[in-house]
Structure 1
């Protein structure tokens, strides 16, 4: 008997394939076909066919009797993305210096829509477990790196963030547009941003924007630590120094992000 289930989401083959690939989550060791179908709305017949096609390119690989996970090709392609690669190469020595100077978790993030995506992370010693990961994303409005970027970004980026809504992630998340706008004005004045338990309970963060050839930030750098231990004002000059060093390197002709 022929299945009457219809696919939801994108109508093209490429669209459905990327929908399947995007359905994998950071904590997945493997995902069943049924779970992928539930996450994407794609029928089992279509998903099964696409997964086997993707497996021939090592974009996914089958695990055990029915599980799937991302393949090595996805990792290799990610490393080839010029924007992230150029930025990471320019930032590497400054991130290492910042880590050595502060012993805190160091992040490098880029803007992506209303979010930020982390492209590098150096884990601090003895600090809190931070949910961020390389390739992961967080809302811009409640993170230090996000606010450092939003403060200097064109008005339409902030407008998009506000239109999407400011969801409360912790009791200290700023969810009033007027208050967020006022805070971003302060960030512009002092040229660094702070976060105090706004994205995650127990952590604090200080961040600074990174520029390339224009006045719009291409990224931000930050350090993150325990909220009751990290003196953001004390560490702000070190973070700003790192951001300025990366900016100068980019503007001096390092492969641009």
Structure 2
């Protein structure tokens, strides 16, 4: 991205916000973007005018206008519309936290998260990101991704998030082989202590490329992911088949 252009500067300001930020001060926006204070102040004001930012007492926050634009993203919107009944059914069967995620570079982006009062204290959230190598849903995506991406991830580094995070490329590569063979990926306290997960890829029926992945996550105190492997694989297969039928009918 060329930060010398107006568009580049606008995108830099918007991407300065993370999933954990409710609002940012002008000074913090300047620090995170590295742009001149006057430039940030001017562009932030214009973004408020077009409802991409809201002005607050202490600075700025992302506006509902961005959410509206995000909901117009055709791929994620159609995927979510088709997947939601399967995700809700999976939650009804397991009563544990259900995720839908898509691939973006070396990360998984969570498109949906369904969980009740008993949901696990997982680091994921809708619109949030996590590294591929330390989550069940990320490993399911990675195992069926382009070989060049797999090699790039395996070349590292593989950041350690917990004592159980897999940081050895050889071990991760063997897990990816097993995922491709079984159609399911597992995580045991690799992204956060105390949680486990089973995930399955949603594959394009026409060319066998990965579209997304679905997972069920729960606390190890009561949850055994192996018990829900068939249900997660069935949900992934159902979403893939429905996506294919909708495409065929167009």
Q: TM-score, normalised by structure 1?
A: 0.92
Deviation at 1:209, TM superposition (A): 0.3
Equivalences, count? 247
Name the counterpart of 2:219: 226
Q: Which moved more, 1:20-29 or 1:47-56?
A: 20-29
Aligned pair 1:44/2:12, yes or no?
no
Partner of 2:86: 94
Find 1:82's aligned residue among 44, 54, 74: 74
The partner residue of 1:192 within 184, 200, 216 is: 184
Unaligned segments of structure 1, at least 5 residues: 1-8
Q: Distance in 2 between matches of 1:254 and 1:202?
A: 40
8 A contact 2:109–2:127 mirrored in 1 = yes
Q: Quick one: distance in 2 between partners of 1:22 and 1:242?
A: 33
Contact 2:155 2:169 in 1 (8 A): no
Runs of 4+ in 1 over 6 A off after TM superposition: none
The 5 Å alignment of 1:141-180 reads 141-180=133-172
- SS at the partner of 1:61? strand
CA deviation profile, 1:59-113 (whole Å, cap 9, x unmatched): 111112x411111211100111011101001101110110000000000000000
Q: What residue number does 1:105 align with? A: 97
Alignment of 1:52-63 (within 5 A): 52-63=45-56
Residue 164 of structure 1: how far off its partner (Å): 4.4
Counterpart-to-counterpart distance in 1, 2:225 and 2:120: 15
TM-score scaled by structure 2?
A: 0.95
Contact 1:211 1:217 in 2 (8 A): yes
* Cα deviations by residue, 1:89-147 (Å, 9 ceiling, x for unpaired): 11011101100000000000000001010001101441322221111110011110111
The alpha-carbon distance between structure 1 residues 97 and 146, as it changes in their structure 2 partners (threshold 3 A), is: same
Once the two structures are superposed, residues 7-49 of structure 1 have per-residue CA deviations (whole angstroms, 9 ceiling, x without a partner) of xx81111111111001112232221100011111111011001
Give 3-state SS (helix, strand or coil) of 1:120's partner.
strand
**RMSD value over aligned CA atoms?**
1.5
The answer as to whether partners of 1:106 and 1:124 remain within 8 angstroms in 2 is no
The alpha-carbon distance between structure 1 residues 50 and 163, as it changes in their structure 2 partners (threshold 3 A), is farther
